[in-house]
Amino acid sequence: MYEYSGNVHIHSDYSDGSGSVDDIASYAREAGLDFIVLNDHFSLYQNDEGYINGVLVLQGMEVNDTANHYLAMDIEKTIDKNVEYPQRVIDDVNAQNGIGIIAHPFEKGSPLFHNRRTYPWKDWSVQGFQGIEIWNFLSQWRDGVSGIIKGIYLMINPHSAFIQGPYREALKVLDRYQQEGCRIILAGGSDAHNALLRIGPLKFRISPYDLCFKCINMHILTEERFSGIYLEDREKFYNAMRKGKCWVAYDFFKNSRGFSFVIRSRTEEWGMGESIPLQNSLQAEVRTPYKARVVLMKNGRCWEKSQGQKHVFERIREGVYRVEVFHAQGLRYRPWIFSNSIWVTKN
């Protein structure tokens, strides 16, 4: 398998971001990313897809405004908004065989930003979506700005907003859908806008591209190496996303390249996004590029824990398994890697 990393939730000057597509691709290249997906509001700009400044640039869109935001990718036509009935948005994306991800479903808001305005997902009766964004840079950073002093502190030290990791509410919803048989994936992104904020004579950038592209990213695994040919690599990227061969990581302090999570029998091996027939002697193995604390989750609950770089778990039974990884930083452990799931089934 071949590993590539990138960011799948970005806004350009086609909507409410401040950077051109060329500028954003340059920031992505400087951050060491292989791909980016732009999701501008309400419109789809496919003419800007391709390799730009050495980065695979893909165009999706973010649908809806006041609530129920939905990232639509791998589509050919613009999706109309429908805040009141988001199932219709999901259905429209599926009609194009696209990939849809529920964006920043849980937000707390800040008193300094539009009087705590949030853009949550409100309708959890929906079905047919492909993923849930469990970790969003802009949402979580903004939620941490409880006052002017805290806001200035988070401008200087933005990483403090992410000590708690992804919203547990989003992970709980993900686990519930998966246990009900829905093969949805977890995703994460920056929601980068690179917006300018003025506080008196001071100027700050909110969700700047250069910082965001080093923080919450997606890593994918493909069966074939990227060729450098746009259409071929576009298909490889979306195939990996559809199959759940990916993970979310906060890469700023320690890059997660080289992470792996598999379940093995004596003769076979299965990776993220795959299903395994229940059998004797199944064993989960996790490898982390640095020493870390690994939590093996089964059906949304902690199953086993391990410390180190190679982590082996023997008691694998029927269930849905995913991994949460935390790396040491000073006297605490920082949330780092959140894997997609592997299913162990009786059938």
pLDDT in tens, 94-114: 999 999 999 999 998 888 777
Instruction: Dump strand ranges (E) for the chain.
Output: 2-10, 35-41, 50-52, 55-63, 70-73, 99-102, 131-136, 185-189, 195-199, 202-206, 216-222, 246-250, 260-264, 269-271, 275-277, 283-298, 301-313, 319-329, 332-339, 342-345
Q: Quick one: pLDDT at residue 201? A: 72
Domain end (from 250, 281, 310): 250
Q: Supply the range of the domain harboring residue 120.
A: 2-250
CATH number at residue 119: 3.20.20.140
Note if the pTM is more than 0.75: yes
Q: 238 and 268 share a domain? A: no
pLDDT in tens, 3-36: 999 999 999 999 988 899 999 999 999 999 999 9
Establish if 140 belongs to a structural domain: yes
Q: 95 and 113 share a domain? A: yes
Q: 180 and 241 share a domain? A: yes
Q: 214 and 301 share a domain? A: no
Q: 212 and 286 share a domain? A: no
Establish if 255 belongs to a structural domain: no
Q: 31 and 123 share a domain? A: yes
Task: Give the rounded percent of residues in the chain with a pLDDT score beyond 70.
Answer: 99
Number of structural domains (the chain) is 2
Establish if 14 belongs to a structural domain: yes
Establish if 341 belongs to a structural domain: yes
Average pLDDT over the chain, rounded to an integer? 94
- The pLDDT-based confidence of 200 (bands split at 50, 70, 90) is low
10 Å CB burial of residue 346 (0-12, 13-18, 19+) is exposed
